[in-house]
Amino acid sequence: MSYPTESVMTTTQFSSESRGQYTAKAYAAAGAKSQLAPNTIPRRDPGEHDVQIEILFCGICHSDLHQVRNEWSAMPTVYPCVPGHEIVGRVTKVGSAVTKFKPGDIAAVGCMVDSDGDCEECQTGLEQFCPHGTLTYNSPDVHLGGVTYGGYSDSIVVKEHFVLRIPSNLNLAGAAPLLCAGITTYSPIRHWGVTKGKKVGVVGLGGLGHMAIKFAHALGANVVVFTTSPNKIEDALRLGADQVVISRNRDEMGKHVNSFDFILDTVSAEHDINSYLQLLRRDGNMTLVGAPDKPHAVAAFGLIFKRRSVSGSPIGGIAETQEMLDFCGKHNITADVEVIPIQEVNEAYERLLKSDVKYRFSIDMSSLKSQ
């Protein structure tokens, strides 16, 4: 992905007289220490390949919080920042070349809104690795200048290739988080061959973690959840875990040494990953999807003796995202959501920081109309 450079830092103002754009309502942060507050933003009028969507629900990802508070040194935030990349809505307009969508359809958008389309990554359906990709927010906006603005808004305009279909049996508020929390966990779970009989660990029971449990369980794995929150044990079992380990309890951790095929780490804050590496069996893999800014320390011998590996994984490509949504339709999987009005977004962020979400906030965007 390409991220903001000097050229975009100065272009967050826009001219209301420019042609080919309209004004949308949004919630934006003016700075790293600011609360999210009502604002207006420019959106381009749909071009021939574009789909315009009235946003119905937008999930709150912990990445929104990291970005709004400028916590990632690799991806500095350009303000005003309108986060949100778990978007479900209704199509209001389509360009003349659009074939998959028509006004009235339900449509969804995740973390990416564009890529170059012709690099090796795009050609193999791995747009998430495109060197010229555009993220849904805080990426340079080639159409309007400035940066892209995300889903905490009443509408968005996106190139058709990046617009997805939601199976009709899924609840829309619960489907929105599939667009990031869903694909970010589904993709590494599939890549690392999670199937029936594999022992799979999920570290952290938040938005990503609860989706990982659902997917690994649906694929027939033996799922063990590691949590710092004893009050989540019953929920973990209800979501599909076979066992729950309180990760701060060394004795409980010790019982699982050398036993896991795969562990997915979804933790958003600094923590010790070595205590999980020793739980992997020979050739086991631990994949990091959680993205705290501070680098992890890794004990070399924890990897060497059992040829274990640590890797990372970003979201997933467009084809795989559609595959994941169809898998959710078939297995009736959605996120467990607390639906909130946009006016409660700042309180929701504070609860995220306290690991107090059951298990994803989904913003009902109709609440923005009254703003």
Which of 170, 173, 208, 318: binder of ligand NAP (CB under 6 A)?
208
CA distance 9 to 288: 30
CA distance 367 to 371: 7
Taking CB under 6 A as the rule, does residue 328 contact ligand NAP? no
The Cα-based distances of 74 to 4, 11, 142, 204 in angstroms read: 10, 20, 21, 23
CA distance 117 to 356: 39
Taking CB under 5 A as the rule, does residue 279 contact Zn ion? no
Taking CB under 6 A as the rule, does residue 271 contact ligand NAP? yes
Q: What is the DSSP string of 172-233?
A: HHHHGGGGTHHHHHHHHHHHTT--TT-EEEEE--SHHHHHHHHHHHHTT-EEEEEES-GGGH
What are the φ and ψ backbone dihedral angles of 180, each rounded to 5 degrees? -130, -60
Interface region with Zn ion, contact rule CB under 5 A, candidates 57-65, 214-222, 254-262, 264-272: 57-65
Taking CB under 6 A as the rule, does residue 184 contact ligand NAP? yes
Look at residue 266 and give the partner it binds from ligand NAP, Zn ion, none, a contact being a CB closer than 5 to 8 Å depending on partner kind. Answer: ligand NAP
In the complex, what is the shortest distance from the CB of residue 354 to ligand NAP, in angstroms, rounded to a whole number? 9
Taking CB under 5 A as the rule, does residue 180 contact Zn ion? yes
Taking CB under 6 A as the rule, does residue 315 contact ligand NAP? yes
The Cα-based distances of 29 to 142, 288, 347 in angstroms read: 22, 28, 14
CA distance 180 to 178: 5
Taking CB under 6 A as the rule, does residue 84 contact ligand NAP? no
Look at residue 314 and give the partner it binds from Zn ion, ligand NAP, none, a contact being a CB closer than 5 to 8 Å depending on partner kind. Answer: ligand NAP
Taking CB under 6 A as the rule, does residue 224 contact ligand NAP? no
CA distance 362 to 56: 10
Look at residue 205 and give the partner it binds from Zn ion, ligand NAP, none, a contact being a CB closer than 5 to 8 Å depending on partner kind. Answer: ligand NAP
- Supply 23's token pair: 């004004």
Taking CB under 6 A as the rule, does residue 206 contact ligand NAP? yes
Looking at the Cβ atoms of 63 and 155, the one nearer to Zn ion is: 63
Task: Sort strands 50-60 and 155-159 into parallel, antiparallel or unpaired.
Answer: antiparallel
CA distance 316 to 332: 20
In the complex, what is the shortest distance from the CB of residue 127 to ligand NAP, in angstroms, rounded to a whole number? 13
Residue 347's CB: how many other CB atoms inside 10 A?
A: 11
Look at residue 229 and give the partner it binds from ligand NAP, Zn ion, none, a contact being a CB closer than 5 to 8 Å depending on partner kind. Answer: ligand NAP
In the complex, what is the shortest distance from the CB of residue 6 to ligand NAP, in angstroms, rounded to a whole number? 25
Looking at the Cβ atoms of 144 and 264, the one nearer to ligand NAP is: 264
Nearest CA to 334 out of 59, 109, 56 is that of 59
User: Mapping DSSP to helix (H, G, I), strand (E, B) and coil, where does residue 55 land?
Assistant: strand
Taking CB under 5 A as the rule, does residue 75 contact Zn ion? no
Looking at the Cβ atoms of 94 and 291, the one nearer to ligand NAP is: 291
In the complex, what is the shortest distance from the CB of residue 60 to Zn ion, in angstroms, rounded to a whole number? 9
Residue 267's CB: how many other CB atoms inside 10 A?
A: 24
In the complex, what is the shortest distance from the CB of residue 184 to Zn ion, in angstroms, rounded to a whole number? 7
Q: Which residues bind ligand NAP (CB under 6 A)?
A: 61-63, 66, 180-181, 184, 204-209, 227-229, 232, 266-269, 271, 289-291, 313-315, 352, 355, 357
Question: Which residues bind to Zn ion, rule: CB under 5 A?
Answer: 61, 63, 180
